[in-house]
């Protein structure tokens, strides 16, 4: 972490503690979504006019732990235009043009792209650009999980934002999880014994893959865009790390492999044994809960085959606890909640993994698995998932821009995007190369 950030940053040992501090910082106007609809609607009903008036009287620029939650419009152009208008009406001063702000914060190529199609890195850059415009009238800046979304090469956008606020005498508050900003690679002497379970190998094949992209909301653009994936055929070993900078197509590749989006061509992940389709756990697992409670997620898994979800849930938690002890971490994060209490994010995350493993998938893909967890907790959880998945012959693929996992993995895939046009008759936005 940049040394100048230390004076702005407060650290928390759990997602729930960090979220509670963030909610207080924005006058509790953001309901919690991680533990099902009952908690969400309880928070929602407690929002009062007094709190809304406080935000009006003491405006705060903020970025939520999932940056999409603070972007209310359909495209980056709409988000930045609305922020620009707010800045102009609040302060009669010169406000930079939307196009200039977008260029300064690296989202100029995405201005008319639907926000739902942006990568995590592109989304947080847009949130940063919006927060920059809000500096014209806000009294402070508050950011949750500032180090989870941007790759190292894109960190200067974040530095540019907090420097701008600090230079203008505006308080900056960064709320992070313990170890979230670490760049150290974890050492793996005996944490994951390789002799206990046999090595899990697999193959990935891409042939003539073309991915239709969502249409631009710019009415002047007549062609629907698409991306092409270069042909790729590799024999790999689990755990496998998928690396690349923000916006290079890592998550897009994972969605193709798991059938989460439509595409043309052939994309397969093959095992030596019969298996179900590969499964994916999103970086923002909260959106993947569909606002279901813990029990609701369990009941939704009734149609899977193989082990029962709660059995795998217990196995993963037992492994997690053992790994956390090996990392010499306190045991508070391993406690199970009492009956009737709202489940913490860690519980939900473990359950979602267990549900996916129930189907004996060809692979389990974890997109930025450290999201919402402290460093030690994230490492312990990933190790636990790998051990349980390998015990049933399922490979694990990690998508991450952090260097934590380099010594853990047995193979790597590097994803790189280029904007080169491939065919004059096709509107290829970019191509993706795997190596």
The predicted structure's pLDDT at residue 265: 93
Q: Is the pLDDT of residue 212 over 90?
A: no
The predicted structure's pLDDT at residue 337: 44
Query: pLDDT by residue (tens digit) across 311-344?
Result: 999 999 999 999 898 886 544 444 444 444 678 9
Sequential DSSP letters for 361-427:
BS-EEEESTTTTS-HHHHHHHHHHHHHHHHHTT--EEEE-SSGGGTTT-SEEEEEEEE-----TTS-
Within 8 A by CB and 6+ apart from 432, the residues are 227, 228, 229, 230, 248, 249, 252, 253, 415, 416, 417
Q: Which residue, chain included where needed, has tokens 């590097």?
A: 414
Q: Is the pLDDT of residue 5 over 90?
A: no
pLDDT-based confidence at 4, cuts 50/70/90?
A: low
Sequential DSSP letters for 57-106:
HS-EEEE-SSGGGG--SSSHHHHHHHHHHHHHHHS-S----HHHHHHHTT
Distance CA 408, CA 430 (A): 31
The C-alpha angle with vertex 68 and arms to 64 and 72, in degrees rounded to 5, equals 105
- Domains of the chain plus CATH, in order, are 3-177 (3.40.50.300), 201-434 (3.40.50.300)
> What are the structure tokens assigned to 350, written together?
């473990």
Distance CA 347, CA 337 (A): 9
Query: pLDDT by residue (tens digit) across 57-85?
Result: 889 999 998 899 899 999 999 999 999 99
- The helices-and-strands tally (H runs, E runs) of the chain is 13, 14
Sign of the dihedral defined by the CA atoms of residues 267, 273, 277, 280, in that order: negative
Query: pLDDT by residue (tens digit) across 398-429?
Result: 999 888 999 889 999 999 988 755 455 555 57
């Amino acid at each position: 972490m940049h040394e100048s950030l230390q004076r702005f940053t407060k650290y928390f040992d759990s997602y729930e503690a960090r979220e509670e501090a963030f909610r207080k910082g924005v006058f509790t106007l953001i309901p919690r979504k991680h533990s099902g609809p009952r908690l969400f609607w309880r928070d929602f009903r407690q929002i009062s006019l007094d709190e809304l008036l406080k935000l009006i009287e003491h405006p705060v620029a903020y970025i939520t732990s999932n940056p999409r939650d603070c972007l209310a419009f359909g495209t980056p152009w709409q988000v930045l235009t609305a922020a620009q208008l707010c800045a102009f009406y609040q302060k009669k001063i010169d406000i930079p043009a939307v196009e200039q702000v977008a260029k300064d914060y690296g989202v100029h190529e995405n201005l008319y792209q639907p926000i739902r199609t942006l990568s995590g890195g592109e989304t947080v850059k847009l949130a940063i650009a919006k927060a920059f415009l809000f500096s014209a009238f806000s009294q402070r800046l508050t950011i949750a999980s500032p180090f989870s979304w941007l790759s190292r090469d894109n960190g200067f956008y974040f530095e540019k934002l907090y420097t701008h606020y600090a230079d203008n005498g505006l308080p900056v508050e960064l709320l992070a999880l313990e170890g979230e900003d670490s760049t150290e690679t974890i050492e793996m002497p005996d944490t994951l014994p390789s002799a206990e379970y046999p090595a899990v190998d697999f193959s990935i094949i891409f042939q003539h893959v073309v991915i239709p992209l969502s249409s631009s909301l710019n009415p002047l653009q007549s062609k629907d865009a698409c991306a092409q994936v270069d042909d790729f055929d590799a024999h790999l070993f689990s755990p496998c790390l998928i690396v690349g900078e923000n916006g290079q197509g890592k998550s897009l590749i994972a969605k193709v492999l798991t059938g989460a989006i439509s595409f043309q061509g052939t994309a397969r992940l093959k095992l030596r044994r019969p298996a179900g389709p590969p499964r994916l756990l999103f970086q923002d697992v909260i959106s993947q809960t569909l606002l279901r409670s813990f029990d609701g997620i369990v009941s939704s898994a009734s149609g899977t085959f193989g082990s029962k979800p709660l059995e795998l849930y217990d196995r993963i938690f037992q492994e997690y606890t053992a790994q956390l002890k090996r990392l010499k971490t306190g045991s508070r994060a391993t406690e199970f909640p009492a009956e009737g209490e709202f489940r913490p994010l860690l519980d939900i995350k473990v359950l979602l993994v267990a549900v996916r493993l129930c189907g004996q998938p060809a692979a389990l893909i974890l997109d930025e698995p450290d999201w919402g967890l402290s460093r030690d907790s994230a490492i312990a959880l990933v190790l636990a998932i790998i051990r349980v998945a390998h015990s049933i012959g399922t490979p694990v693929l990690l998508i991450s821009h952090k260097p934590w996992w380099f010594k853990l993995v047995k193979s790597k895939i590097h994803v790189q995007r280029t904007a080169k046009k491939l065919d004059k008759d096709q509107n290829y936005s970019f191509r993706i190369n795997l190596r």
